[in-house]
Structure 1
């Protein structure tokens, strides 16, 4: 099931495989942002606060990030298709639990934990299978373009779809919607073929998995604690950094002893792939940070409902769609480095426009130009960033790099929600909106600077592995 470099059209088998993979990425990204417009409804129904809902959203994104690396490794041991299907089922159960949750605790169990773990199991196979099914750079770029577009559209359209369902039915129905989409994906996945055999005897680094997960959790928990206790924040951040350092140290020790760690040090030897992963992290940090900031501001400060807030986000969705659709043509004419640089530049401009327009105009439409530019900029660089990373490694390392790459991206999502949410909770009515957006603009400028260090012409697929 490999692509033909001389034929621009994917085979029927490739199209059949790409559909469930792209839909899976869509629904997982949708889950990460659709709750943003349900903040008021959920907090009133479950008798909790805006901060409580923010914690549920952040924990979901954090669980994905924390368990994505182990999830990628398990694909090698149990097979990519089996992990994909298992992840879908766990996710579906979590969605149904969320739909009937009587309180915040059960919502966190269903949405944050079960859906988060399910996503960590099913997302690495999406990118591994896409890499294996589409062998040449052109067809792979097109496949990643489709999947990345669905990821961006899911994140950007989540507020609109979730807002519509919440307004016309209930916020609980949005989780039923997710479960139904999961059921459709499971049916579509029956004909998926795993290109590589499972290796049930492959060792799994359980201690490494626990250490890395705990380190990532403490890092984000430290950011969430920033508005309550500065010393607690520093303690959590230090503990998280210590555990992650321990994780990498133990991994290198295992390799020197001839054993297989959870994450090979080879994953970090490629400078281009490292830069690509950092840009992925910053892209998702900005996307989810903007989504949470604008949604919270619209509902808490402006008093808009879920459907009104969702409609405003349509402009970000439109921007992502347009740039994602043109991603393949852009890639044929411009180096991937140029696309990432341009994407960050447009995104930063969009954030600036969003701040200025909202400050000078009370109209809801003042959000549209900035959100469109942010969506257009992010949509144009999601695909090249993924392609740079995945194509840097050979087939036998796809399980590890897919888990690591998705973990880095989802860590960016959780950091975006945590950072923006922490600033907002500190004072929505005292300029915190502008402060959060300025912080995200600084992140965009950082991404822009780092993207300039990417090579103009990356090495051929797998050549640097």
Structure 2
């Protein structure tokens, strides 16, 4: 009887994990698959490369801006309800994008609605994974599956999107997203929320607005860099001012005993802070490289969507090879070591991309660098998430999951905005090299943060999860 019960729980957890991993896959896919549709969307909707860049960046930005409020809402309304609501909103946005007559409607569907849906559904993915798997090793396996699907979605997005675009239309890629959402909804029926919702939990609306506006202004300022330096300066300054207002509001609420959107006590944990820096930098490297290489291949080299996607297969294979080994790597190596090794591989990959692409005209010149980047990202994505999530007890999982995903998506936004702005300012070989060099320098910052993580005296497999897991999840 006991064995049967354990088997049933394992099967149930497996289906739930499949739903969570697929959700991470489709959201990551949405952030990168449009990179290979730049020419097709530009011609069909009568817009420019900059217009498509804005659509991609706004999607990532909406996720980043709303992820913290989304994580907070899971405490009040429950993880399963927020997850399913996010899936429905996302599907509506995907179908609207598929029928978009112009860039404005495309941004509404793919950037705004899909971004809002993602901000609601992604925090539950990380909260449920953390709560359902009680120790670091089993959680490393679960996060390995989730992060593998997320990384594959980002890395294989160009190939899958390119195949669909060439075979049917770029619009069909959004229909594909809606179909995957339908599969996730079916699998999600098995989800049993480990923690009951608390309708009495307050929600800091003022903080949510201030944080979102501040982040939007900062990223829009970066996007304005190639057109108007003065506008960029104003947007960055106003964005910084709004974010300062947000943190002042949070401090005042905490001092008066009220619950803010984001507790500043989360930032008292040095290990988590460093983990957040590494997370942000990883996704900045992934999305920045994806946009830069995809735009360069299509606009400068004249590759079509499928050819561009095939080139990115190298990154997909590298990421798949290492991310699916997350459990085995966690048993054998400290998480700090894995994160540092990942950054070393990724930075080396960027350098190889710069050298080979500058020396050879063949598409094969992109393969070694992209393979190294994929290998590096697959090594470090899971341990970075594990470091952050495992640093807090269950009652703070909603907050830290929202913050963690917000920081990661903000990194993705910055990657597309920074590298894309440099590249789009002058679509030449020199601009490509400048964008990639910028990414490599930022990657060195991530490596430095990883080096500052505390050393682990023994492998992760010997350390139990520090929070008390509900009995129903054992």
| TM-score in terms of structure 2 length | 0.95
Instruction: Choose 240-249 or 77-86, whichever is displaced more.
Output: 240-249
Distance 1:327 1:194 in 2: 25
Structure 2 portions without partners, runs of 5+: 458-463, 469-474
- Cα separation, partners in 2 of 1:301 and 1:333, compared to 1, 3 Å: same
C-alpha distance in 2 between matches for 1:448 and 1:255: 34
Q: Unpaired runs of 5+ in structure 1? A: none
Query: What does 1:100-249 correspond to in 2, within 5 Å?
Result: 100-249=99-248
Q: In the alignment, which residue of structure 2 is the partner of 1:291?
A: 290
Alignment correspondent of 1:451:
450
Report the Cα offset of residue 462 of structure 1. Answer: 4.5
**Residue aligning to 1:379:** 378
Give runs of aligned pairs for residues 64-75 of structure 1, distance below 5 A. Answer: 64-75=63-74
Alignment of 1:214-363 (within 5 A): 214-363=213-362
Is the 8 Å Cα contact of residues 128 and 402 (structure 1) preserved in structure 2?
Answer: yes
Displacement of 1:450 in angstroms is: 1.2
Match of 2:466 in 1: 461
Matches of 2:225 and 2:277, distance apart in 1? 23
| CA separation of 1:135 and 1:9: change in aligned 2, threshold 3 A | farther
Counterpart contact for 2:134–2:465, Cα < 8 Å: no
CA distance in 1, matches of 2:9, 2:248: 43
Are the aligned partners of 1:392 and 1:462 in contact in 2 as well (CA < 8 Å)? no
Tell me the equivalent position of 2:461: none
| C-alpha displacement of 1:141 | 1.1
Deviation digits for residues 119-144 of structure 1 (CA, Å, limit 9, x no counterpart): 00000000001111111111111111
1:419 aligns with 2:439: no
- Count of aligned pairs: 458
Aligned partners of 2:445, 2:466: CA distance in 1, in Å?
A: 27
CA distance in 2, matches of 1:193, 1:163: 37
Provide runs of 4+ in structure 1 moved above 6 Å: 7-10
Instruction: Give CA-to-partner distance per residue, 1:243-296, whole Å, 9 cap, x none.
Output: 111111111111111100001112111000000001000000000000000000
Task: Call closer, same or farther: CA 1:164–1:47 in 2, change over 3 Å.
Answer: same
Q: Which residue of 2 aligns with 1:43?
A: 42
1:461, CA displacement in angstroms? 2.9
TM-superposed CA distance for 1:205, in Å, is 0.3
CA RMSD of aligned residues (A): 1.6
How far apart in 1 are the matches of 2:362 and 2:321? 25
Aligned position for 1:366:
365
Any idea what the Cα deviations from partners look like across 1:410-444, whole Å, max 9, x if unmatched? 00001000001100111012510000000000011
